[in-house]
Amino acid sequence: MGITYESAGVHTDIAEKTLERFKAHLKTRPKNPNLLSGIGPFASCFSLKSVLTEMTDPLLVTSCDGVGTKSMLALEWNTLDGLGQDLVAMNVNDLLCVGALPLVFLDYFACGKLIEDQLLTLLKSIQAGCELAGCTLAGGETAEMPGLYRENDFDLGGFTVGVVDRAHVLGGSRIQTGDTLLAIESSGLHSNGYSLVRKVIRKYDITPDDPCPFENISWRELFLKPTHIYVRSVKSVLNQVSGLAHITGEGIPGNLPRILPPHTQAELSIAACPLPPLFSWLQEKTALSREEMYQTFNCGIGMVAVVPAAQRAHVQSHIQNAGLRCWEIGQVIPSAETEPSVQWKP
């Protein structure tokens, strides 16, 4: 008997069947007329004609990110339907940080063994995330690679493209000393710190459907809560914002300085940044210092908006009216050092 692709562990018929089921699902979802070709062709075409009519110097903005080891916990607990929102969020929230709105999204799914319902669940959740972000799922890649991945393992990657007028790019010289720093709440852990979280779960033998002692939800709901997508909440006030920092890996100290100009510093109030119950619990279980917590997790703050003082009240009110808690945590101050940094005060 000869050696076939299927005997080597690759099942192209499963991929094709899953995509046909997903195409049927897409027919029930809203369509973007700018997407000229969708799932199926070698590459997708998206019309920019209507998008660019009011821009004088349009810039394409790109982002690439994944969901990290959160996918391992989701797989272990058989709860995959939030990962699509996580994947979209990690990418489109980064686009927002330069003032761009997402247009299209692409996904990459790689696994050791293709499981039809698993892939379909992930694709549907990615589509749902795109709808929340106001962008279009334009295509992607499914790769079954036995030997490179263990049979039940998979990895997710995402790619998004957006556009912004050069005059409206956020960050850098737009940020001035005296600007206010507003925190925008996270939905929880988002998609960072899960290598440590999974160790805590194993050490304390946490069962997914047991109730969480400090929130009226299960551990499954708490740890696998999807990442906030901030597009709808902030897009209407982007022209009143000087900068946005997406608080991901390395927390506020690792992300906020990335958008500040030289010779400035973010002065943050410790009192204005208390640890929410989840993060207080994690600090207790890990014995991390307060400094280490803020360098590892978002600690309840998913975005930091840098806003001119005159616009603070309007921006804060708009975000709160969109359903997200938003509060002042500090200001931008001058610094003798060239490299921007974060300084904590009581």
Domains and CATH numbers, the chain: 12-45+54-168 (3.30.1330.10), 172-345 (3.90.650.10)
pLDDT-derived band at 23 (thresholds 50, 70, 90) equals: confident
Give buried/exposed letters for 103-118 (b at 16+ CB in 10 A, else e): bbbbbbbbbbbbbeeb
Lowest-confidence pick of 15-29, 118-132, 178-192, 307-321 = 15-29
Supply the pLDDT for residue 54.
85
Q: Is 70 exceeded by the pLDDT of residue 339?
A: yes
pLDDT-derived band at 152 (thresholds 50, 70, 90) equals: confident
Supply the pLDDT for residue 266.
98
Supply the pLDDT for residue 60.
97
Handedness of CA 146, 159, 66, 254 (dihedral sign): positive
Q: Is 80 exceeded by the pLDDT of residue 9?
A: no
Q: Is 80 exceeded by the pLDDT of residue 3?
A: no
How would you classify residue 205: left for phi > 0, otherwise alpha for psi between -120 and 50, otherwise beta? Answer: left
* Cβ count near 165 (within 10 Å): 15
| Residues 129, 222: Cα–Cα separation, whole Å | 19
Handedness of CA 124, 28, 233, 133 (dihedral sign): positive
Supply the pLDDT for residue 17.
86
Is 50 exposed, middle or buried (CB count within 10 Å of its CB: 0-12, 13-18, 19+)? exposed
* Cα 237 to the center of its chain, rounded Å: 20
Handedness of CA 38, 159, 196, 265 (dihedral sign): negative
Q: Is 80 exceeded by the pLDDT of residue 110?
A: yes
Q: Is 80 exceeded by the pLDDT of residue 56?
A: yes
pLDDT-derived band at 1 (thresholds 50, 70, 90) equals: low
Between 3 and 139, the more confident residue is: 139
Q: What angle do CA 30, 31, 36 make, to 5 degrees?
A: 170
Compute the 3-state secondary structure of the chain and give helix, strand, coil in percent, each to the nearest 5: 35, 25, 40
Mean pLDDT to the nearest integer, 108-128? 96
| Residues 343, 253: Cα–Cα separation, whole Å | 9
Q: Is 70 exceeded by the pLDDT of residue 115?
A: yes
* Cβ count near 317 (within 10 Å): 12
- Over residues 176-228, the pLDDT tens digits come to 999 999 999 999 999 999 999 999 999 999 999 999 999 999 999 999 999 99
Q: Is 80 exceeded by the pLDDT of residue 247?
A: yes
**Average pLDDT taken over every residue of the chain:** 95
Q: Is 80 exceeded by the pLDDT of residue 148?
A: yes
Q: Is 80 exceeded by the pLDDT of residue 8?
A: no
- Over residues 328-338, the pLDDT tens digits come to 999 999 999 99
The two structure tokens encoding residue 18: 């899953």
Between 290 and 26, the more confident residue is: 290
Percent of the chain surpassing pLDDT 90 = 85
Q: Is 80 exceeded by the pLDDT of residue 2?
A: no
Q: If you write DSSP's letter for every residue of 35-87 in order, what string do you get?
A: B-S-SSSSS--B--TTTSTT-SSEEEEEEEEE-TTHHHHHHHTT--TTHHHHH
Mean pLDDT to the nearest integer, 96-108? 97
Q: Is 80 exceeded by the pLDDT of residue 270?
A: yes
- Helix 12-26 vs helix 116-133: angle between axes, to the nearest 10 degrees? 40
